[in-house]
Amino acid sequence: MFTAADEYGIELSIDERAVERLLSVRPADVEPADRLTFARNVFIPLTTACRYTCTYCTYYDVPGEASLLSPEEVREQCRVGADAGCTEALFTFGDEPDDRYTAVHETLAEWGFDSVHDYLYRACEIALEEGLLPHSNPGDLTEMRFADLREVNASMGVMLETTADVDAHSGGRRKTPGQRLNTIRAAGRQGVPFTTGILVGIGEGWRDRAESLLAIRELHERHGHVQEVIVQNVVPNERSDFAKPDTATMRRVVAMARAALPPEVSVQVPPNLSPAADLVDCGIDDLGGVSPVTDDYINPAYEWPDLDGLRAVADAGGMPLRERLPTYARYLPDDLRPVGVDPAPAPTDRDAWLPPAVRARIADGDVHGRRLRGVARGDGPLAVRSD
Ligand code: SF4
C-alpha cells in the first residue's frame, strides 16, 4: 500500500495490485483515441519569480532579475491573442515569490495589489474583457485562493510531476509531492475544471510513475474535476542535463496513463516536447494549448508546431483534429456542449463548473463570444489548412 502526503492530511492510498497491473501495461494494451484536440492560446508569463529552484527549470529568474508584466502588457498580449483567434489566456508562473523578490512585491504594491494572486485575478479580468478565457497555472494554491480565483478562470492547473521525492526538487527551497496533491485536491473541493500531469525523466522510476497516475485518478474519482493529464517528458536545457526519455519509454508511460485514467479524462502530450506522432496510437487524445502568437516560455528552445504540424500528428493516427476551449466540453453549460457529450456531475456545493463571469464572456454577442461559442460547439472557427 502506497500512502502519500500525510503532512497535508490527504490520506491517499493506492493498492499495490493496481500499481502492479499498471506496470504491466504496454502500448498494445490500449485503444487509440478517435479524435485529437488542441486549444489555441496566448501564453502570458505574468512573472518569472518563483520561490523554488527545480533543477530542470529554465523558467524562473533569481531575485533582481525576475520579470513582471504590467497590466498594459497583459492587455496587449491578450489583444494580440484574441486577434489571432485564440480562445485561451494561459497565465503561468512558478510558485508564490518569497520575500527575496522585494522588487516584485514593491511593484505589485505600487500597482495596488497585496499579492501576486490578487494581481492574477485582475489579469484574468483583463483577459475576459479582451475576449479570452483565462486558464491559470499559478503553482500551489490553498482552497481559499481557488475559491477566489475560480470566479475569473475557465479552468486551472498544476503539474503533479511525481509523487516521488526526487533530487530535482531538492535544495533549501523545494516543492513537495504533498503540496501538489494538496493543490489538486483543493481545486477539486472548489469545483475547478483542472489540468495536471506527470513529468517523465526527472529521476523517478516506473513505480513512481504508476503511483503518480493512480494518485491523480483517486483525486479525480473523489471530485470529478480532472479534465486532462499531461504526460510530459523532461528536455535538456541550459540549467540541466537530464536526458530526454526515449520514444519507447514515452510510449509505455502514455499507455499507462490511458489505462490508469477513466475514459473521460484526456491524456495529453505537448507536441513541441514529445514525439507526438509516435505516441498517437498509445491513447493520447489531446495536444494541449498551442499558441500561434507566443513562445512556450517554460521551454523556450522548443517551438510549437503550427496547425499543419498538429494535423500531421492527427493524420499519423488516422484521426480528425478538433479545436477545443481550455475548459473541456463536459464542464460547459447545456447550451454549449456538443451533441453526444455527457455533462460532468455538478461540483460539490456549487451549481455549475463555470463561474458567472466566464459564462457571460462566452455568451457575449461580440465577435469574441461568437468565436468562443463556435469552438465550444465544434462548428468553428476551427483550423483550416491555410491557417
Ligand atoms: S518548475 Fe515551477 S516550481 Fe520549479 S522552479 Fe520552475 S517555475 Fe518554480
Contact 50 CB / ligand 1 (< 6 Å) = yes
Task: Identify the band that residue 55 occupies on the pLDDT scale cut at 50, 70 and 90.
Answer: confident
Strand partners, 14: 2
Q: With a cut of 80, say whether residue 15 has pLDDT above it.
A: yes
Q: With a cut of 60, say whether residue 2 has pLDDT above it.
A: no
Q: pLDDT (tens digit, 9 = 90+) per residue, 198-243?
A: 999 999 999 999 999 999 999 999 999 999 999 999 988 888 888 9
Task: Identify the band that residue 282 occupies on the pLDDT scale cut at 50, 70 and 90.
Answer: very high
**Among 80-84, 282-286, 297-301, the least confident range:** 297-301
Q: Which three cell numbers stand for residue 257?
A: 496513463
pLDDT value, residue 3: 57
pLDDT value, residue 380: 67
Report the nearest atom of ligand 1 relative to the CA of 51: 8
Q: What angle do CA 113, 119, 125 make, to 5 degrees?
A: 125
In whole angstroms, give the CA distance from residue 353 to residue 248: 37
Choose the most confident range, by mean pLDDT, from 48-57, 249-258, 337-346: 249-258
Report the nearest atom of ligand 1 relative to the CA of 169: 4
Q: With a cut of 60, say whether residue 105 has pLDDT above it.
A: yes
Residues 6+ apart with CB under 8 A from 248: none
Q: Nearest C-alpha to atom 6 of ligand 1 is from which residue?
A: 57
Strand partners, 136: 91, 156
pLDDT value, residue 143: 96
pLDDT, mean over the chain? 92
Contact 59 CB / ligand 1 (< 6 Å) = yes
pLDDT value, residue 1: 44
Q: pLDDT (tens digit, 9 = 90+) per residue, 67-82?
A: 999 999 999 999 999 9
Q: Nearest C-alpha to atom 7 of ligand 1 is from which residue?
A: 94
Report the nearest atom of ligand 1 relative to the CA of 56: 1
Contact 175 CB / ligand 1 (< 6 Å) = yes
pLDDT value, residue 94: 84
Q: With a cut of 70, say whether residue 382 has pLDDT above it.
A: no
Mean pLDDT (whole number) for 24-45:
96
How many angstroms separate the alpha carbon of residue 66 from the centre of ligand 1? 13
Contact 57 CB / ligand 1 (< 6 Å) = yes
pLDDT value, residue 334: 93
Contact 95 CB / ligand 1 (< 6 Å) = yes
CA-based R_g, the chain, Å: 19
Q: Nearest C-alpha to atom 2 of ligand 1 is from which residue?
A: 94
**Among 6-20, 25-39, 171-185, the least confident range:** 6-20
In whole angstroms, give the CA distance from residue 253 to residue 248: 9
How many angstroms separate the alpha carbon of residue 307 from the centre of ligand 1? 29
Q: Nearest C-alpha to atom 8 of ligand 1 is from which residue?
A: 94
How many angstroms separate the alpha carbon of residue 242 from the centre of ligand 1? 16
Q: With a cut of 50, say whether residue 268 has pLDDT above it.
A: yes
In whole angstroms, give the CA distance from residue 377 to residue 367: 15
Contact 94 CB / ligand 1 (< 6 Å) = yes
Mutational test site, ligand 1, from 43, 59, 161, max ligand atoms within 8 Å of CB: 59
Mean pLDDT (whole number) for 307-335:
95
pLDDT value, residue 381: 55
Q: With a cut of 90, say whether residue 111 has pLDDT above it.
A: yes
Task: Identify the band that residue 310 occupies on the pLDDT scale cut at 50, 70 and 90.
Answer: very high
How many angstroms separate the alpha carbon of residue 288 from the centre of ligand 1? 19
**Among 54-58, 115-119, 201-205, 270-274, the least confident range:** 54-58
Contact 146 CB / ligand 1 (< 6 Å) = no
CB 106 within 8 A of CB 144: no
Contact 52 CB / ligand 1 (< 6 Å) = yes
More confident of the two residues 242 and 353: 353
Rounded to whole angstroms, the maximal C-alpha distance in the chain is: 57
Q: pLDDT (tens digit, 9 = 90+) per residue, 115-172?
A: 999 999 999 999 999 999 999 999 999 999 999 999 999 999 999 999 998 888 876 7
How many angstroms separate the alpha carbon of residue 59 from the centre of ligand 1? 7
Count Cβ atoms below 10 Å from residue 31 Cβ, excluding itself: 10
The reported pTM is 0.95
pLDDT value, residue 295: 77
Q: pLDDT exceeding 90 applies to what percent of the chain?
A: 77
pLDDT value, residue 99: 85
Report the nearest atom of ligand 1 relative to the CA of 58: 6
